[in-house]
Amino acid sequence: MATQIKGPGIFLAQFAGDEAPFNSLASITKWAAGLGYKGVQIPTFDPRLFDVDKAATSKTYCDEIKGICADAGVEITELSTHLQGQLVAVHPAYDSQFDGFAPASVHGNPKARQEWAVDQMMKVAKASKNLGLSGSVSFTGSLAFPYLYPWPQRPAGLVEEAFAELGRRWKPILDAYEDAGCDVGFEIHPGEDVFDGATFEMFLDAVGGHKRCMINYDPSHFLLQQLDYLAFIDIYHERISAFHVKDAEFNPTGRQGVYSGYQGWVNRAGRFRSLGDGQVDFGGIFSKLTQYGYDRWAVLEWECCIKHPEQGAAEGAPFIEAYLIQVTEKAFDDFADSGVDRKALRQMMGIE
């Protein structure tokens, strides 16, 4: 069956590990293909699966990577730079936690860590070009998120300056992706300064409406915010360049709501779930994306606080496959076409 949306794909980040078959690109892609996946989204921050430096400088290495995937029976959907993108902008409150995303040589040195992250982003732009990819996925990072709730009252201009600085940092990176012919689909995600439609618009303005500033659409983050994730597609479909298929549920109680009371994932009102176990309306999502012409990949991002990841992965491929839509080439009421000509049409309306 030919479908407009490609899939199913799988994001490998949550499955990579030190034990086979998850410890090399060759073995993990064969595992994914065996479950029915046709594409893999590769995390560039995991050296067990991908060497950024080689990929940025060697077309031969990139051809080898494509060959490994092809031998397994999958394509590369996108390269992911979520962790490197996060480090492009880090509020000092998160310095110690986010140091773990970077090499030890830049720990305790926010300036050096940011320079490393920017260099990584630039290299992945070149790697994407060498791999012939037209899209990537990432995070924006955050400077203002600790001030999300306006108490105490935010000083005038704080949010504006945060987004202006994000724009200054990301504009040269986006220019490099333009040179590579590759989009950056930013995952709209709480914890990032860009976490909903309003903040995406602020960021887009800050980078001058850059054509490579796109969206990695993930409805799970919208459901947990109680944002209308179907209307989001109506508004921003022209900017959606990637799609993480991830489920979630929100069950508020008399004790907790959207902020979930500092509870662990199992006990939160809002929590991520395996595909089909949550509340996301995937039928509505796939219909709207198809309606608006989205023709890139549908990629499982598995996160669940209850189900084992391997069970989630095994269930994910057929779940996505079932929602892929074969676009019709005819109208459902063609059988009732009377075939009248223009003269007859005018007569029907009483036009001389």
What pLDDT, in 10s, does the model give residues 64-87?
Answer: 999 999 999 999 999 999 999 999
Domains of the chain and CATH, by start: 6-348 (3.20.20.150)
pLDDT given at position 340: 84
What pLDDT does 3 receive? 85
Residue 339 pLDDT: 80
Residue 1 has pLDDT above 70, yes or no: no
pTM exceeding 0.85: yes
Confidence of residue 35 (pLDDT cuts 50, 70, 90): very high
Q: What is the DSSP letter of 144?
A: S
Which amino acid, residue 112?
Answer: A
- Would you call the peptide bond into 252 cis, given omega within 30 degrees of 0 as the criterion? no
Strands 6-11, 240-245: pairing kind = unpaired
Residues 185-238: tens digit of each pLDDT? 999 999 999 999 999 999 999 999 999 999 999 999 999 999 999 999 999 999
Task: Provide the pLDDT for residue 336.
Answer: 64
Q: What is the pLDDT of residue 245?
A: 98
On the question of pLDDT at 155 being above 80, the answer is yes
**Tens digits of per-residue pLDDT, 230-241?**
999 999 999 999
Question: What is residue 2's predicted lDDT score, i.e. its pLDDT?
Answer: 74
Q: What is the pLDDT of residue 329?
A: 78
Mean pLDDT over residues 44-51, rounded? Answer: 98
CA angle 138, 16, 68 (to 5 degrees): 90
Q: What is the 3-state secondary structure (H, E, C) of 106-137?
A: HCCCHHHHHHHHHHHHHHHHHHHHHHCCCEEE
CB under 8 Å to 290, separation ≥6 — which residues? 4, 5, 325, 327
Residues 6+ apart with CB under 8 A from 340: 348
Q: What is the mean pLDDT of residues 37-47?
A: 98
Mean pLDDT (the chain) is 96
Residue 352: pLDDT band by 50, 70, 90 thresholds?
Answer: confident
Length of the chain: 352
Beta-bridge partner residues of 271: 249
Backbone phi and psi for residue 70, each to the nearest 5 degrees, phi listed first: -65, -40
